């Protein structure tokens, strides 16, 4: 049960969504956008968030699209994880999604919610970071398109009122060879100690990871080092210096263990793919 009261809105247009948000802000109240709503429910139940209004984006046409159009895979932010896995035709995205939560939970969790989650994991973003996706944001002045590397993590970059409408990526990239591994503490269904997604695109080995630090990361410097290294061990020693924040150290796993796992995984990727690059 959610113990406090709130108002629930289901706008049919982006303009209405932003207007409702704006109105609550002007009254010094706290609105929150919702897609799947599952994280908001869990956090509100524990009183970690106490929004005055929930603005459910699911009824806005276009937020459910998942299609290839004009050479781009376009995914609306209210598309559920299961729908994206089935309809995107993007093998790595499907594999990653199928390791997030459970089949039933994925009928409700959305792409937008996973990407904008307050949890550190946000694993669905990894294939999007690897493919240098673009994000279409709705702002009070209209839609704007940004490179994912400029707006992710959203909690640091999204301005008040702004919301995520769609993610776009080059359809040509989706069939390139990929690699995915998720190391969890106990059962397979769990948050990762560390998970790594990689793609082999032309002459590049692209790597992104979740679970290592407070935000999922694309490891561009490491990608370059791997290609140049004569001995893979040489670039593994540098990894820590490329991280923008400390390695997570918690009851699930110590930071040393996370780093150890990450290095082993990187070594495996390099050994497997360097011959082909």
Partner 1 sequence: MNHLPQTIQVQINGQVKTLMVRQAELFLDTLRNAGLTGAKPGCKNGDCGSCTILVDHIPIQACQLFSMEVMDKNIMTIEGLIDQTVQKAFEEKWALQCGYCTPGYILNAYALLQHHPNADEETMKQWLDSNICRCTGYQEIIDAVTLLIDRNEYHEHHS
Q: Which of 58, 182, 200, 218 binds partner 1 (CB under 8 A)?
A: 58
Q: Could you say whether residue 112 binds ligand FAD (CB under 6 A)?
A: yes
Torsion of CA 89, 92, 95, 97, to 10 degrees: -80
Per-residue b/e over 145-181, b at no fewer than 16 CB within 10 Å? eeebeebbbbeeebeebbbbbbbbbebebbebebbbb
Residue 8 has φ and ψ, to the nearest 5°, of -115, 125
Q: Could you say whether residue 38 binds partner 1 (CB under 8 A)?
A: yes
Identify which of residues 63 and 262 has a Cβ nearer to partner 1 in the complex. Answer: 63
- Helices 220-228 and 255-274 cross at an angle (nearest 10°) of 50
Q: Which of 214, 258, 253, 215 is nearest to 239 (CA)?
A: 258
Beta pairing partners, 181: 196
Grouping H, G, I as helix, E, B as strand and the rest as coil, residue 26 is: helix
Subset of residues 11 to 30 that bind partner 1, contact rule: CB under 8 A = 23
Taking CB under 6 A as the binding criterion, the range among 4-12, 30-38, 87-95, 264-272 that sits at the site for ligand FAD is 30-38
Q: Which of 14, 32, 44, 239 binds partner 1 (CB under 8 A)?
A: 44
Subset of residues 213 to 242 that bind partner 1, contact rule: CB under 8 A = none
| Interface size with ligand FAD, residues (CB under 6 A) | 31
Neighbours of 262 (CB within 10 A): 26
Q: Which of 26, 104, 203, 241 binds partner 1 (CB under 8 A)?
A: 104
Subset of residues 38 to 57 that bind ligand FAD, contact rule: CB under 6 A = 38-40, 57
Q: Which of 19, 25, 41, 191 binds partner 1 (CB under 8 A)?
A: 41
Q: What is the C-alpha to C-alpha distance for residues 34 and 260, in angstroms, rounded to an integer?
A: 37
Q: Could you say whether residue 56 binds partner 1 (CB under 8 A)?
A: yes
Q: Which two tokens stand for residue 151?
A: 């707006």
Q: Which two tokens stand for residue 196?
A: 């790594």
Q: Which of 60, 97, 101, 126 binds partner 1 (CB under 8 A)?
A: 101
Q: Which of 64, 79, 89, 88 is nearest to 109 (CA)?
A: 79
Q: Could you say whether residue 103 binds partner 1 (CB under 8 A)?
A: yes
Q: Which of 88, 113, 133, 200 binds ligand FAD (CB under 6 A)?
A: 113
State the binding partner of 100 from partner 1, ligand FAD, none, CB within 5 to 8 A by kind: ligand FAD
Q: Is 246 exposed, middle or buried (0-12, 13-18, 19+ CB in 10 A)?
A: exposed
Identify which of residues 75 and 101 has a Cβ nearer to ligand FAD in the complex. Answer: 101
Residue 201 has φ and ψ, to the nearest 5°, of -115, 115
Q: Could you say whether residue 118 binds ligand FAD (CB under 6 A)?
A: yes
The contact set with ligand FAD (CB under 6 A) reads 32-40, 57, 77, 100-102, 105, 108-110, 112-114, 116-119, 121-123, 163-164, 191
The contact set with partner 1 (CB under 8 A) reads 1-2, 4-8, 10, 23, 36-38, 41-42, 44-45, 53-54, 56, 58, 98, 101-105, 107-108, 188-189
């Amino acid at each position: 049960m959610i113990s406090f009261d709130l108002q629930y809105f289901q706008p049919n247009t982006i303009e209405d969504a932003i207007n409702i948000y704006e109105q609550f802000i002007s009254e010094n109240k706290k609105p929150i956008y919702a897609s799947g709503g599952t994280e908001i429910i869990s956090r509100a139940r524990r009183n970690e968030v106490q929004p005055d209004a929930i603005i459910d984006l699911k009824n806005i046409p276009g937020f459910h699209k998942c299609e290839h159009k004009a050479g781009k895979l376009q995914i609306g932010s209210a598309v559920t994880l299961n729908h994206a896995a089935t309809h995107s035709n993007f093998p790595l995205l499907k594999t990653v999604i199928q390791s997030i939560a459970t089949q039933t939970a994925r009928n409700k969790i959305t792409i937008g919610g996973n990407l904008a989650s307050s949890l550190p994991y946000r694993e669905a973003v990894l294939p999007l970071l690897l493919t240098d996706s673009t994000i279409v944001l709705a702002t009070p002045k209209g839609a704007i398109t940004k490179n994912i590397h400029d707006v992710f993590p959203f909690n640091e970059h999204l301005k008040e009122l702004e919301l995520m409408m769609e993610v776009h990526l080059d359809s040509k990239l989706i069939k390139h060879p990929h690699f995915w591994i998720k190391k969890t503490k106990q059962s397979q269904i769990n948050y990762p100690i560390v998970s790594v997604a990689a793609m082999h695109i032309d002459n590049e080995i692209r790597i992104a990871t979740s679970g290592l630090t407070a935000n999922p990361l694309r490891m561009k410097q490491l990608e370059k080092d791997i290609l140049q290294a004569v001995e893979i061990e040489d670039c593994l020693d540098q990894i820590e210096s490329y991280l923008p924040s400390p390695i997570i150290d918690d009851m699930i796993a110590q930071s040393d263990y996370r780093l150890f796992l990450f290095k082993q995984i990187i070594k495996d990727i390099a050994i497997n793919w360097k011959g082909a690059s």
